[in-house]
């Protein structure tokens, strides 16, 4: 028996798929529909960082590979995180059809990095070096350096002209913090381009607003999804009862004990059906145990 009678479930005003991810999924579905041989459509890396959605698309024929070398023939989909120009050149050289679903905002960061390098700046990306978006941007300019936090500052050359961009899904607070640290280094010139994604910021703002009003907060999305992890970290700062889950099956029902209001948000790569299923089950669970 769980004491969660009358628990309300509130959903963040902005959550779930952003336009970049929605576009990538719809491009993938259309490409699969158009192919006679559905087995020949590949995604270079997971199309989005959500294994439930990747599994759904795999069932209708989308194959995920990590390396260009693992593709024999067919159509290759470039995911919303983009791909490095060198990877795209390899695909072209091998004669594959390319369908580019790179988010326009990610393309913008790539273009800016290239322009900064052409203008003689040492390009600095603030973000996570292991993230595919950052790796693709790294491939767009020569001698790029990635700064995740103060411990990376030693990578900066002395007296340089630094041209700075940020991984799109980072928070303004994080961007400002790392920027402040870079500002204390011995650079000659600093050019800062704001490459943060407004969609991600809106999700962060509405998640914070919501988690302040609830007893327990759920952040739904892939464990590898950078923007979902950002949301969860942010919510944890304001509400210690925050849980990052991929779906309803992962919920330990015992944590609902004594809670009256639950909040639900989701990262930009979390499909609507995962959110709807979670909310429906949470509401049904209350009714059953009330």
Is 21 a binding residue for ligand SF4 by CB under 6 A? The answer is yes
Is 68 a binding residue for ligand SF4 by CB under 6 A? The answer is no
**Touching ligand SF4, residues 244-283 (CB under 6 A):** 268
Q: Is 104 exposed, middle or buried, given 0-12, 13-18 or 19+ CB atoms closer than 10 A?
A: exposed
Minimum Å gap between C-beta 1 and ligand SF4 is 41
The nearer residue to ligand SF4, 41 or 231, going by C-beta atoms, is: 231
- Given the rule CB under 6 A, which of 2-10, 64-72, 99-107, 159-167 is the region that contacts ligand SF4? 99-107
Burial of 53-78, coded b for 16+ CB within 10 Å and e otherwise, reads bbeebeeebbbbeeebeebeeebbbb
Is 136 a binding residue for ligand SF4 by CB under 6 A? The answer is no
**Touching ligand SF4, residues 222-241 (CB under 6 A):** 227
DSSP classification of residue 194: -
8, 19, 236, 259: which one binds ligand SF4 (CB under 6 A):
19
The nearer residue to ligand SF4, 103 or 235, going by C-beta atoms, is: 103
Among candidate residues 55, 133, 189, 283, the one labeled active-site is 133
- Given the rule CB under 6 A, which of 2-10, 18-26, 66-74, 185-193 is the region that contacts ligand SF4? 18-26
Helices (H), ranges, the chain = 19-34, 51-59, 85-93, 104-118, 132-138, 172-183, 198-211, 226-238, 272-289
Minimum Å gap between C-beta 21 and ligand SF4 is 5
Cα–Cα distance measured from residue 135 to residue 188, given in angstroms and rounded to the nearest whole number: 26
Is 125 a binding residue for ligand SF4 by CB under 6 A? The answer is no
Is 31 a binding residue for ligand SF4 by CB under 6 A? The answer is no
Cα–Cα distance measured from residue 100 to residue 191, given in angstroms and rounded to the nearest whole number: 30
Sign, CA dihedral 22-28-33-38, equals negative
**Touching ligand SF4, residues 151-210 (CB under 6 A):** 168-169, 197, 199-200
133 annotated active-site = yes
Q: Are 78 and 100 in contact (CB under 8 A)?
A: yes
Q: Which residues contact 273 (CB under 8 A, 6 or more apart)?
A: none
Is 46 a binding residue for ligand SF4 by CB under 6 A? The answer is no
* Coil, helix or strand at residue 159: coil
Is 18 a binding residue for ligand SF4 by CB under 6 A? The answer is yes
Looking up tokens 């273009």 gives: 111
Cα–Cα distance measured from residue 237 to residue 81, given in angstroms and rounded to the nearest whole number: 27
The nearer residue to ligand SF4, 214 or 268, going by C-beta atoms, is: 268
Minimum Å gap between C-beta 18 and ligand SF4 is 3
Footprint on this chain of ligand SF4 (rule: CB under 6 A): 18-21, 80, 103, 105-106, 168-169, 197, 199-200, 227, 268
Active-site residues, by number, are 133
């Amino acid at each position: 028996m769980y004491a969660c009678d009358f628990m309300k479930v509130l959903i963040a005003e902005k959550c779930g798929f952003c336009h970049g991810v929605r576009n990538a999924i719809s491009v993938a579905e259309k490409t699969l529909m158009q192919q006679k041989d559905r087995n020949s459509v590949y995604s270079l890396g997971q199309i989005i960082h959500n294994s439930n959605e990747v599994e759904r698309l795999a069932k209708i024929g989308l194959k995920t590979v990590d390396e260009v070398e693992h593709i024999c023939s067919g159509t290759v989909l470039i995911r919303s995180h983009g791909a490095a120009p060198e990877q795209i050149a390899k695909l072209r050289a091998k004669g594959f059809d390319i369908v580019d679903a790179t988010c326009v905002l990610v393309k913008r960061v790539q273009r800016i990095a290239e322009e900064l390098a052409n203008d003689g700046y040492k390009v600095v990306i603030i973000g996570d070096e292991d993230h595919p978006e950052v790796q693709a941007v790294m491939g767009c300019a020569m001698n790029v350096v990635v700064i995740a936090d103060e411990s990376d500052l030693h990578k900066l050359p002395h007296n340089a002209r630094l041209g700075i961009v940020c991984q799109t899904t980072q928070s303004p607070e994080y961007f400002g913090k790392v920027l402040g640290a870079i500002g204390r280094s011995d650079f000659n010139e600093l050019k800062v381009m704001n490459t943060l994604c407004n969609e991600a910021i809106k999700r962060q703002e509405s998640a914070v607003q919501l988690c302040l009003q609830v007893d327990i907060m759920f952040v739904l999305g892939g464990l590898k999804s950078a923007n979902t992890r950002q949301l969860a970290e942010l919510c944890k700062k304001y509400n210690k009862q925050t849980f990052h889950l991929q779906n309803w099956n992962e919920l330990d029902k015992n944590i609902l004990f004594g809670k009256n209001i639950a909040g639900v948000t989701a990262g930009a790569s979390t499909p609507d059906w995962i959110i709807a299923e979670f909310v429906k089950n949470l509401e049904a669970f209350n009714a059953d145990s009330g």
